[in-house]
Amino acid sequence: MKIILATGIYPPEIGGPATYVQHLSEELTKLGCKIKIVSYGQAGQQHPQLSIVNKNSSLLIRYFKYFWQVFNLCKWAEAVYILDLMSAGFPAIIAAKIRGKKVVFRTGGDFLWEKAFQNGWTKLPLVQYYEASKNFKEKLLLKFCGWLLKKIDAVVFSTKLQAAIYQKYYQLAEKKIKFIDNALPAINIRNVQDYNQDSIVFAGRLIKLKNLGSLINAFSRSNNNKVKLLIYGEGPEKKNLEHKISNLNLTGQVKLLGNIDHQKLLEAMAGCKFVILPSLTEISPNLVLECLSMGQPIIVTQETGFSDDIKEELITINPQSEADIKEKIDYLLEPNNLADYLSRLKKIKVENRSWQQVAQEHHQIFKSLLANEKGIVN
């Protein structure tokens, strides 16, 4: 089986799709698949299976080059697996369909909501956004995304939260919906970074939806000025965050530390006071599961795709309220409260799930689609 994995980011960049593609490609290869990866990136990213499209080119040039890479590889491939709907997905879908190849889409974020937030059309979390009225541009994009989804042969979700949105607002056919839970391998912490013990940690892409401006504002008003806020990741909001940190005179307390190897990130999280994820919405954040697996406390946004039994035990924040973010930070900076929270988190049973299992479930989806194409009954 020959598969193209089309992603917007790839390691060393931090982000769900990057980690996902890296591990999935390794495990699919072990299952006998032949894999090629196409990603936006820059010179220096090297991998024998990887083709890089310069992320610093203009939009149209980026899209054309991405299309051309996938189009050429489709002469070789049997299926294309896309990790987003637009930046990688749009050019990859067009290339695959011209070549007559099957396309599978794994949802992670949500293009329309992210675009609306980036453009200032909304400040609402994901579910509320889809329920709200839309401007003319949003309606056009909604139709365009629906058109793309009709060209996709299967859509992989990790939560029912997002699947319900796609069924309701994009009329996604139920037969196309597949569920694959995220991987959560057993975590082996070799070197806990104890120098982080007086720090709060965030990790992820530096984009507006992660709500880092509000986090920094709230942190600046925290009752404990001996604690540091460590922010791991890269993204388009970096300059704005640097200016905010400077304007608030927080250069000694808030550190933008860039991308970091995933194992070292886990070690940094294991050694800190607690982790915080203040995004407007987190559909299926592996960062939370990793913290729970390590027994590490985390503050997370109210809207996630987690089941109620997990959400009931977590300390959550209203991401639209800086006062609430500050209150929850101050609450966990009290040793007794932190100890109580750690005790609560022990009630949450997190099952480890290997990348091998995730790859096997993907393999079955590809196998089924390609068998149906050839008229073979499984």
For residue 311, being part of any structural domain is answered with yes
In a domain, 127, yes or no: yes
Provide the domain count of the chain: 2
Rounded to the nearest integer, the mean pLDDT of the chain is 91
What CATH number does the domain containing 283 carry? Answer: 3.40.50.2000
Considering the domain boundaries, does residue 163 fall inside one?
A: yes
Q: Do residues 76 and 225 both lie within one domain?
A: no
Residue 220's domain comprises 194-345
Verify that 296 and 317 share a domain, yes or no: yes
> Which tokens in the block code for residue 270?
């294991």
What is the 8-class DSSP label of residue 185? P
Q: How many CA atoms does the CB half-sphere of 178 hold within 13 Å?
A: 21
Is residue 246 domain-shared with residue 170, that is, in the same domain?
no
Name which of 14-18, 234-238, 342-346 the model is least confident about.
14-18
pLDDT of residue 56: 86
Asked if the model's pLDDT at residue 374 lies above 70, the reply is no
* Cβ-based neighbours of 351, under 8 Å, separated by 6 or more: 184
Same structural domain, 309 and 207? yes
Proportion of the chain above pLDDT 90, given as a percent: 70
Please determine, for residue 377, whether its predicted confidence score (pLDDT) is greater than 50: no
The pLDDT assigned to 193 comes to 63
End-to-end CA distance of the chain: 16
Please check whether residues 217 and 176 belong to one and the same domain: no
Instruction: Give me the mean pLDDT over the 350-356 stretch.
Output: 87
Q: What pLDDT, on the 0 to 100 scale, is given for residue 375?
A: 57
Is 329 inside a domain boundary? yes
pLDDT tens-digit map of 67-114: 999 999 999 999 999 999 999 999 999 999 999 999 999 998 899 999
Residues in CB range of 128: below 8 A, 6 or more apart: none
Does residue 188 lie in a domain region? no
Is the same domain home to 360 and 327? no
- Regarding whether 278 and 199 lie in a shared domain, the answer is yes
SS3 218: helix
Q: Is the pLDDT of residue 14 over 70?
A: no
Distance, in Å, from the CA atom of 173 to the CA atom of 79, rounded to the nearest integer, reads: 20
308 in a domain, yes or no? Answer: yes
Is 8 a domain residue? Answer: yes
Q: Domain check: are 245 and 276 in the same one? A: yes
The residues pairing with 229 across neighbouring beta strands, listed in sequence order, are 200, 254
pLDDT for the residue 286: 82
Per-residue confidence (pLDDT) for residue 44, from 0 to 100: 65
Q: How far is Cα 341 from Cα 337, in angstroms, rounded to an integer?
A: 6
| Lowest-pLDDT range of 26-30, 140-144, 222-226 | 222-226
Residues 11 and 119 in one domain: yes
The candidate with the shortest Cα–Cα distance to 312, out of 323, 302, 321, is 302
Assess whether 115 and 147 both reside in one domain.
yes
Give the pLDDT mean for 120-143.
95
Q: Say if residue 20 is in the same domain as residue 153.
A: yes
- The three-state secondary structure class of 168 is helix
**Helix 136-150 vs helix 111-118: crossing angle, to nearest 10:** 160
Output the pLDDT for position 289. 87
pLDDT tens digits along 41-67: 876 666 778 888 888 889 999 999 999
pLDDT at 376 over 70: no
Within this chain, do residues 172 and 219 fall inside the same structural domain, yes or no? Answer: no
Q: Does residue 189 belong to any structural domain of this protein?
A: no
Q: Which residue has the higher pLDDT, 356 or 48?
A: 356
Alpha carbon 132 to its chain's center:
24
- In order of 1, 19, 94, 305, the CA distances from 98 in angstroms are 20, 29, 6, 35
The string of pLDDT tens digits covering residues 185-233 is 877 777 776 667 899 999 988 999 999 999 999 999 998 778 999 999 9
How confident is the model at residue 378, as a pLDDT? 41
Token pair, residue 277, equals 């994820």
pLDDT in tens, 254-268: 999 998 888 889 999
pLDDT at 7 over 50: yes
71: helix, strand or coil: helix
